[in-house]
Chain A
Amino acid sequence: MSLKTALSRIRSIPELQKRYNIFINIDPSAEKRLVDNADKELPLSHLVAGIKDNIVTKDLPTTCASKILETYQSPYDATCVRRLREAGVVIAGKTNLDEFGMGSGGIHSHFGPVLNPLYPSTKITAGGSSSGSAAAVAAGAVDFALGTDTGGSVRLPAAFNAVLGFKPSYGRISRYGVVAYAQSLDTVGILSKGMPVLRKVYNVLNEYDSKDPTSLSNDLRKKANKLFKEKGKLRIGIPQEFLQASISADYKNLFFRFIKELMDMGHEFYPVTIPSVKDSLPIYYTLSPAEAVSNLSRYDGIRYGTRADTTDIENGTLFAPTRANFGREVQDRIILGNYNLCSETFKNNYVKAQKLRVGLMNDFDEIFRGPNIISNSKGNVSGVDLIISLTATGPPSTIESFTSAENSSPTNEYLNDVFTMPMSLAGLPTLSIPLGNDVPLGVQVTAQFADDETVLNFADRIVN
Chain B
Amino acid sequence: MSFVRQLSLKNGYCSRCCRLYSSRAKVGEKFRSKKEVMEYLGQQTWSVDEYLADSTSEELPNEADVRKLLKLSGLPVDGNDLERIRVRLGKQLSFIDKLHRIPIEDEKTIDECQARLMPRNEVPISYDSLLQKIATQKKDPELGEVEGCWDSTSLAQMKENKYFVVRGGLMQNRD
Contact = CB atoms under 8 A, between A and B. Distances in A.
A238 B29 CA distance: 12
Interface residues of B, number: 97
Interface string A415-458: 10010000000110000000000000000000001000000000
A80 to B, nearest CB: 14
B118 A214 contact: yes
Interface in A51-107: 72-73, 75-76
Nearest to A339: B69
Contact of B73 (A72, A331, A366): A331
Query: B78, B91, B96, B102 — which one has the most chain A CB atoms within 10 A of its CB?
Result: B96
Given A281-B51, A303-B164, A353-B99, A241 B27 contact: no
B76 A320 contact: yes
Contacts of A393: 48
Contacts of A301: 157
A127 interface: no
Interface in A329-360: 331-332, 334-336, 338-340, 342, 348-349, 351-359
B25 A312 contact: no
A6 interface: no
A171 B118 CA distance: 9
Given A211-B142, A320-B75, A338 B69 contact: yes
Given A241-B46, A270-B31, A275 B25 contact: yes
B139 interface: no
Interface string A225-240: 0000000000001101
Contacts of A348: 100
A326 B144 CA distance: 28
Nearest to A345: B93
A240 B55 CA distance: 25
A303 B44 contact: no
A382 B27 CA distance: 8
A356 B150 CA distance: 44
B144 A282 contact: no
Interface in B122-175: 140, 142-144, 150, 152-158, 164-170, 173-175
Contacts of A272: 25-28
Given A244-B47, A273-B11, A278-B13, A358 B167 contact: no
Interface string B93-104: 101111110101
A208 to B, nearest CB: 14
A311 B169 CA distance: 10
The listed residue with most B CB atoms (<10 A of its CB), out of A272, A287, A412, is: A272
Interface string B55-93: 100000100001001111111111100000100110111
A280 to B, nearest CB: 10
A314 B107 contact: no
B37 A259 contact: yes
A411 B173 CA distance: 37
B4 A271 contact: yes
Given A260-B37, A269-B30, 19 more contacts: A73-B155, A255-B41, A274-B25, A275-B24, A275-B25, A279-B98, A282-B97, A306-B157, A312-B167, A316-B71, A317-B74, A318-B168, A320-B76, A335-B70, A335-B89, A349-B96, A357-B115, A359-B104, A374-B117
10 contacts: A263-B34, A297-B74, A304-B156, A310-B167, A312-B168, A323-B75, A335-B73, A336-B89, A355-B107, A376-B121
10 pairs of A and B residues whose beta carbons are closest in the complex? A313-B168, A316-B175, A363-B25, A354-B112, A304-B155, A275-B23, A366-B25, A271-B28, A354-B115, A427-B117
Interface of B: 1, 3-4, 7-8, 11, 13, 17, 19, 23-31, 34, 37-38, 40-49, 51-52, 55, 61, 66, 69-79, 85, 88-89, 91-93, 95-100, 102, 104-105, 107, 110-121, 140, 142-144, 150, 152-158, 164-170, 173-175
